[in-house]
């Protein structure tokens, strides 16, 4: 029996939830879904340059799980860019934590 998914903590939501190749009608495109935890992993690792241990701690998952999430996110992003597919960002086993004025999270 497999272990149930733990809810992953994310602190960032995308500014845009959909990306597609220019001048190609959406009805002609294959769509790839990038889950919110994958989006957060890309942000931590590739944009903020955090090491996997720190990023995993921020998302409240193990380092191995973070590595798996990141690998999946990178595959999906590469597939969308290389093969001209639409990329939709949504869903996944996540809990959004928003910062308060004092910089603390809920």
SS3 of the chain: helix, strand, coil, percent, to 5: 40, 15, 40
- So what's the pLDDT on residue 99? 52
Q: What is the pLDDT of residues 53-81, one digit of tens each?
A: 999 999 989 999 999 999 999 999 999 99
For the whole model, what pTM was predicted?
Answer: 0.82
CA distance 64 to 52: 9
Our CA angle for 100, 45, 77, nearest 5°, is 110
**Percent of the chain clearing pLDDT 90 (strictly above):** 68
Higher-confidence position of 83 and 1? 83
Q: Where are the domains of the chain?
A: 15-92
Q: If we measure between CA atoms, which residue out of 8, 19, 30 comes closest to residue 92?
A: 8
State which CATH number among 3.10.450, 1.10.10, 2.60.40, 3.30.300 fits the domain covering 15-92: 1.10.10
Mean pLDDT across the chain: 87
Higher-confidence position of 19 and 94? 19
Higher-confidence position of 91 and 83? 83
30 Cβ contact list (under 8 Å, min separation 6) = 83, 85, 86
Average pLDDT score over residue span 6-34? 89
Query: Quick one: pLDDT band at residue 7, thresholds 50, 70, 90?
Result: confident
């Amino acid at each position: 029996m497999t272990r149930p998914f733990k809810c992953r903590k994310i602190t960032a939501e995308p500014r845009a939830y959909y990306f597609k190749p220019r001048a190609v009608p959406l009805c002609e495109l294959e769509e790839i879904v990038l889950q919110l935890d994958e989006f957060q992993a890309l942000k931590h690792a590739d944009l903020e340059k955090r090491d996997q241990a720190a990023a995993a701690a921020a998302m409240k998952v193990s380092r191995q799980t973070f590595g798996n999430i990141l690998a999946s996110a990178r595959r999906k992003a590469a597939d969308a860019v290389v093969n001209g597919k639409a990329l939709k960002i949504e869903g996944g086993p996540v809990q959004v934590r928003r910062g308060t004025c004092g910089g603390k999270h809920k």
